[in-house]
Amino acid sequence: MLGALGTHMVDCLMWLVKDEMEDYSGFVHTHVPQTGLKQRDADDAFFIQGKMRDNSTFSVQLISGVNHAFGSNLRIFGSSGTITLTDDKELFFGKSKEKLNKINVSNPEITS
């Protein structure tokens, strides 16, 4: 999953904040090592957390192949506010000490 989806999520993170990762750590895991008669060793989950060059922090995680999964989440926390992206569908931004507001990506103010 990290190679298939994680790289795109990390690219999205860097695009959203227009910054690069400075410090990070993470791991991959296989929650479902066997399906039927087949043994699996491919990761079905990954977790990455860290800090960008501008000191904002992030947590990127994806878990698949498990019961009651919660989809993908991208959360960015910084001194100016918070950005969250859920399942590549819902984007929210909130300035410091203000509530999170849903962002319409097709909004010309955002794409300019």
> Which are the contacts of 7, defined by CB distance < 8 A and separation ≥ 6?
none
Partner residues linked to 61 by β-bridges = 47, 73
pTM for this model (two decimals): 0.66
Kindly give the confidence (pLDDT) of every residue in the chain, 112 residues in length, as a single tens digit, with 9 standing for 90 and above. 677 788 888 898 899 889 999 999 999 888 877 777 788 777 888 899 999 999 888 888 888 877 777 777 778 888 889 988 888 889 999 999 999 999 987 755 655 4
Across 14-99, the runs of DSSP E, i.e. the strands, are 21-29, 34-35, 38-39, 45-52, 57-63, 73-78, 81-86, 90-95
